[in-house]
Structure 1
Amino acid sequence: MTPETLEPLTLPATADAAGWESWMRERAESGLARARELVDGLRTSPPDDAVEVLRRWDDAMLQLGNVAAAGSLLGNVHPDEAVRTTAERAEQDVSRLSTEWSLDSVLFDVFAGLDDSGLDDEARRLLAKVRRDFRRAGVDRDDATRARITAINERLTELDQDFSRAVRDDVRTIRVTPEQLAGLPADWLEAHQPTGSADDDGLVTVTTDYPDAVPVRQFAHDPQVRADMVDAFLNRGYPATEPMLQEIFALRHELAGLVGYPDWASYDAEVKMIGEGAAIPAFIDKIAAAAAEPAERDLAVLLERYRRDRPDAERVPIADALYYEELVRKEQLEVDSQRVRTYFAFDKVRRGLLEVTGRLFGLRYDEVPDAAVWHPDVTAYDVVDVGSGDGLGRIYLDLHPREGKYKHAAQFTLTDGVAGRQLPEGVLVCNFSRGLMEHDHVVTLFHEFGHLVHHVLGGHVAWARFAGVATEWDFVEAPSQMLEEWAWDADILRLFATDDAGEPIPADLVRAMRASDDFGKGAHARTQMFYAAMSYYFHVERPGDLTARMVELQETYSAWPYREGTHMFASFGHLGGYSSAYYTYMWSLVIAKDLFSAFDDDDLFAPDVARRYRDRVLAPGGSKDAADLVADFLGRPYTFDAYAAWLSS
């Protein structure tokens, strides 16, 4: 069966919330019922053939994945709260059933007794992972322990949803006079006028959503406005999320102990490239040390500029960091971000993104104007292989902020793709301006789209377990981080980055932008290691005072001093999904720099290397270990060298 014989998922062809809620409920009920039927059959009368046992289990996992994916997506993006609530319950049901099966000793015996001698490499790999999943779940523990594990997993699912919801819904505001917004771009100011109501006092409301918060911190001349925005932004979620996080850390630690691990980080790291929890702080310190000299060099430049306005300053405070970085870039590196923005109108960037990635990977994106979507902002595209004409999957772009929507940028799965069974479908969820974009946001768009491409191209494997972005979690960012490079190449940017007059962005400006971006990369790496240290030590130490421990880690690792009265951890969403493993962003970046070294700087569209990358890194999904995927592409194991050279340059 070829990919084109499969059809995309049918979504509700209605804007009515009741229709979506009914669809979500039916998808959950039918998917869970089919999964139960498959697993009950395995438990009571398993097939004699080992491949058939694995196939039925994989089918059941595909059904669970379908329910969980729809639940996660709609729980984060649907504009109606009732739909979001129904979707969250579906996720809870999946988690509950998954836990039940993972602790079923009768079911485990089915897999423990399989003869793997007749299996091919992928099936044998799958069997090994299934057996490991059961062991890590605690299937071999006594009844009381398994009951406690069940209760912990159910509670963790609830807490994770509560935490995400609290962060998502806590949009804070500051109220300022129009005069206090001097320095902001003209198009931004035009979109931020006083409401005109009788009680607004002529004030402008500015939110902590990214299209507001980032420009204010970067461009507002008024230091008090910048400080107020930083305070509002860094206090999102506080104090509501602190007890949630404390309970999450405690329960994860208890769960790890119940299944035989000294702490959560050790448990979590076992299935990642890094392998051991104790290797995480060593990696954090390695990066921090490598970044120390570049960070000190750039911070000295920044402090010198800051002291022109604040002669007695000893450090640049976080409330002023983005603003003064912008001044240094403009005054010393001759890059004016407000000029740069004029080349990045959102509609042109979106069109350019599709053209660039289509050419690079041999794809075509056919818009589906009549596709059912959950909000008018959402656009659907069918992804087609240019060479074969086969339909490879469907993607949805949901790129602007709205009330009740996920606040960051991420790729969400709608369906995992499995050869001959269902097409991969993914959703890009971001919060970009509808007008002009900062170049940083263009880079973010390319990054997140990299996950979407990986999901689609890796969605034609034989097993659901290995579909799409199913590699080790500390590798999944590498392909997306590498795709960022295409948003920095002057020749590529000139394909879509044009001003109102249609003039493409000058090559010398792009070179200056690259030099400007290099300024501060050491400080950025140190800040990332602060976040990574926080995610690790919060889980290992479970401090009673999260703010106090955060302050200590910030002083140890971050380039920026702590701002009194703020609680950044309270809205650090990665403490949910990434748990103790936020280090993975930098681990992946090390690999991404090595992957990119195989491409020709003078021709980033060179078809031979691009096709080899598509076939050997993206298309296999999780069918091989990430280190093997990289070695297949590079012809050697990955090294730290390319990253170290980039960081020190």
Structure 2
Amino acid sequence: MTPETLEPLTLPAAGPDDGAAWDDWVRHRAEDGLARAAALVAGLREAPPTDAVEVLRQWDAVSLQLGNVAAMGSLFGNVHPDEAVRTTAEKAEQDVSRVSTELSLDAGLYALFAGLSEDGLDDQARRLLAKVRRDFTRAGVDRDDETRARITAIQERMTELDQEFSKAVRDDVRTIRVAPERLAGLPADWLEAHSADADGLVTVTTDYPDAVPVRQFAHDAEVRRDMLDAFLNRGYPTTEPLLKELFDLRHELATLVGFDDWASYDAQVKMIGEGPAIAEFIDKIAAAAEGPMRRDLATLLERYRHDRPDADQVPAADAAYYEEVVRKEQLQVDSQKVRTYFAFDKVRAGLLDVTARLFGLRYDEVPDAPVWHVDVTAYDVVDAASGDGLGRIYLDLHPREGKYKHAAQFTLTDGVAGQQLPEGVLVCNFSRGLMEHDHVVTLFHEFGHLVHHVLGGHVGWARFAGVATEWDFVEAPSQMLEEWAWDAEILASFATDASGEPIPGALVEAMRASDDFGKGTQARGQMFYASMSYRFHVERPADLTARMVELQEQYSPWPYQQGTHMFASFGHLGGYSSAYYTYMWSLVIAKDLFSAFDSSDLFAPDVARRYRDKVLAPGGTKDAADLVADFLGRPYTFDAYAAWLAG
């Protein structure tokens, strides 16, 4: 059986309210994809092609089919409004994990690939063959029957645990109930959207459109503390035993296939290469951020002592509020004034205009496209020069019950030249009204993943499609795109207040200066999260809270808030596992990538096109270091990041 060109993806036409139609569609798509993959595998087992390239093509087609099912399962397991559909989607993802594990431990298939000759293979085919062989050995195909059986059980249980963890965090939306007068300081539009109930109290949730403004603007310190307490305790105690079991199983799997620990196993396929290098990188960033953090904290504590003369540190619950006070009083940036320029609808339109111009694209809205919720908008992505269709994107940008609580790009289909177009989904939780500028930056960041997915979805192999580079590089293109959300001229093109006046350039410059304040504390906070991600997997502590507190004291600028368990809702312990360091690793590269652009003309077509062609469009066809070197004309360095951090 040979690979085939797949029909364009068609979502259920029955509409998002018809849960039965969606449930049937998800189930049937999963069954069809798994059956196609099984038929392709059977062909490889029973009558493999004699040509090595055709063997690789058929195996890559298996990956594409399984990837279609897994991506669908992951997306709709996290975003569909019907719980029954989410459950069906989660099962589809579990089925793919089970099949993938079985295939990775199939000695006969491994022998097929181990015996292939590289004679006549081009660079991409040789690259793919090397990765396939490595996949098999990392999976443990060369271990004895008993070990392979144990690996199978571990893989299945890890998938279940990861889904249970994500679901527990997703579903645990906590609330505080507050008298209206205690919400003084919150923006007027926020207050208008939060009326008191029959008991005279306002219910505030831990979803971002509530939690962030309350912590940033509420004058009442007790309200801020209660909100942070609720936010940091999401998922607890439900997720603690899930995480402990997950850490133990990951460690066992890594040791069964010959690694010292999970971090070493996971790092082998990343730019960083080795597990212990993660700890070294964390400490390198922490040391570089020490001076900037101390300056930030001194400024913050000085202002905090105006209100709390005897204080020797700023509590975590007060950090965001007093950072805002410093920015307003000393740096002349009032976030409530800033947000009046960032109405959600204008920001979304501006994002599309900016990225279309930068990358040479056009977004054609598809108003009749079937979607899973009325909030979702679909666009066909078109190459502006050639008119060629490049894929489809979906924007699902507001919170709702049962939906993924953070911001992320989800794959719906990977694109492969001549087989299927890429489709991706941006999943966020933004306010429907005015946005904080931080959220505007987040929107640009996450859209960067979506553009990468679409532009990189036209390579010849599914294995290298879209965002298929090393995992510690994937954030770099998105982090670089954040720079376009800081440019005064670009912001003025879409950031206008209610009267239509664009955001003043002087205010944007003040916002930039304000952003410099807090870089040190932000970097050290990230290293706290990264150290927790790494140490939990290497040490597998019996008391996760106690070890978290120790790491917070070592790395974080903020003291521990008693009685809280932040790790319990730290969703990146699932997908990123021991590798949360990757955000900062990628940022080092992102700052170097941005150094190639002319800050006075961020749309300069030559560099923008070179970036599109050299970094985004190749997907994973080259190692990330080579993609960066192709664009910069040299290897990346730490210099640009160090200069940025130092200010």
State the TM-score, normalizing by the size of structure 1: 0.98
- Alpha-carbon shift at residue 8 of structure 1 (Å): 3.7
Structure 1 residues 436-478: Cα deviation after superposition (integer angstroms, max 9, x where no partner): 0000000000000000000000000000000000000000000
What corresponds to 1:10 in structure 2?
10
What corresponds to 1:639 in structure 2?
637
Structure 1 residues 549-572: Cα deviation after superposition (integer angstroms, max 9, x where no partner): 000000000000001100000000
- Can you give the 5+ residue segments of structure 2 that lack an aligned partner in the other structure? none
Aligned-partner Cα distance in 1 for 2:7–2:97: 28
9-18 vs 481-490, greater mean Cα deviation = 9-18
Aligned-partner Cα distance in 2 for 1:13–1:191: 33
Query: Which AA in structure 2 matches 1:434?
Result: R
- Count matched residues: 641
Whether the 8 Å contact between 1:536 and 1:581 is mirrored in structure 2 is: yes
Whether the 8 Å contact between 1:343 and 1:497 is mirrored in structure 2 is: yes
What corresponds to 1:352 in structure 2?
350
What corresponds to 2:279 in structure 1?
281
Counterparts in 2 of 1:103-502, with a 5 A limit? 103-195=105-197, 197=198, 201-502=199-500
Query: Which AA in structure 2 matches 1:73?
Result: L
- Can you give the 5+ residue segments of structure 1 that lack an aligned partner in the other structure? none
What corresponds to 2:502 in structure 1?
504
What corresponds to 1:577 in structure 2?
575
Query: Which AA in structure 2 matches 1:13?
Result: A
Whether the 8 Å contact between 1:288 and 1:557 is mirrored in structure 2 is: yes
SS in 2 for 1:426: strand
Structure 1 residues 395-442: Cα deviation after superposition (integer angstroms, max 9, x where no partner): 000000000000000000000000010000000000000000000000
Aligned-partner Cα distance in 2 for 1:613–1:443: 20
Query: Which AA in structure 2 matches 1:127?
Result: L
SS in 1 for 2:598: coil
SS in 2 for 1:639: coil
Structure 1 residues 202-254: Cα deviation after superposition (integer angstroms, max 9, x where no partner): 00000000000000000000000000000000000000000000000000000
- Alpha-carbon shift at residue 7 of structure 1 (Å): 6.2
Q: Percent identity?
A: 83
SS in 1 for 2:11: coil
Aligned-partner Cα distance in 1 for 2:294–2:526: 15
Among 59, 62, 66, which residue is 1:60 paired with? 62
Aligned-partner Cα distance in 1 for 2:121–2:20: 47
Aligned-partner Cα distance in 2 for 1:253–1:40: 33
- Alpha-carbon shift at residue 139 of structure 1 (Å): 0.1
Whether the 8 Å contact between 1:8 and 1:393 is mirrored in structure 2 is: no
User: Would you say 1:622 and 2:635 are equivalent positions?
Assistant: no
SS in 1 for 2:363: strand
Among 593, 597, 619, which residue is 2:591 paired with? 593
- Alpha-carbon shift at residue 117 of structure 1 (Å): 1.5
Whether the 8 Å contact between 1:96 and 1:153 is mirrored in structure 2 is: yes
- Alpha-carbon shift at residue 43 of structure 1 (Å): 1.2
Aligned-partner Cα distance in 1 for 2:397–2:467: 21
What corresponds to 1:41 in structure 2?
43
Aligned-partner Cα distance in 2 for 1:343–1:605: 22
Aligned-partner Cα distance in 1 for 2:526–2:206: 21
Among 9, 23, 26, which residue is 1:24 paired with? 26
Whether the 8 Å contact between 1:8 and 1:425 is mirrored in structure 2 is: no
Structure 1 residues 268-309: Cα deviation after superposition (integer angstroms, max 9, x where no partner): 000000000010000000000000000000100000000011
Aligned-partner Cα distance in 2 for 1:518–1:458: 33
Among 83, 92, 98, which residue is 1:90 paired with? 92
Query: Which AA in structure 2 matches 1:212?
Result: D
CA RMSD of aligned residues (A): 0.7
Aligned-partner Cα distance in 1 for 2:135–2:306: 59
Structure 1 residues 551-608: Cα deviation after superposition (integer angstroms, max 9, x where no partner): 0000000000001100000000000000000000000000000000000000000000
Aligned-partner Cα distance in 1 for 2:501–2:616: 35
Among 501, 509, 532, which residue is 2:530 paired with? 532
Aligned-partner Cα distance in 2 for 1:207–1:500: 27
Aligned-partner Cα distance in 2 for 1:382–1:528: 36
Structure 1 residues 172-213: Cα deviation after superposition (integer angstroms, max 9, x where no partner): 000000000000000000000013x4xxx1000000000000
Whether the 8 Å contact between 1:367 and 1:380 is mirrored in structure 2 is: yes
- Alpha-carbon shift at residue 128 of structure 1 (Å): 0.2
Aligned-partner Cα distance in 2 for 1:437–1:80: 28
Whether the 8 Å contact between 1:265 and 1:580 is mirrored in structure 2 is: yes
State the TM-score, normalizing by the size of structure 2: 0.99
Among 560, 563, 577, which residue is 1:562 paired with? 560
Query: Which AA in structure 2 matches 1:497?
Result: A
- Alpha-carbon shift at residue 142 of structure 1 (Å): 0.2
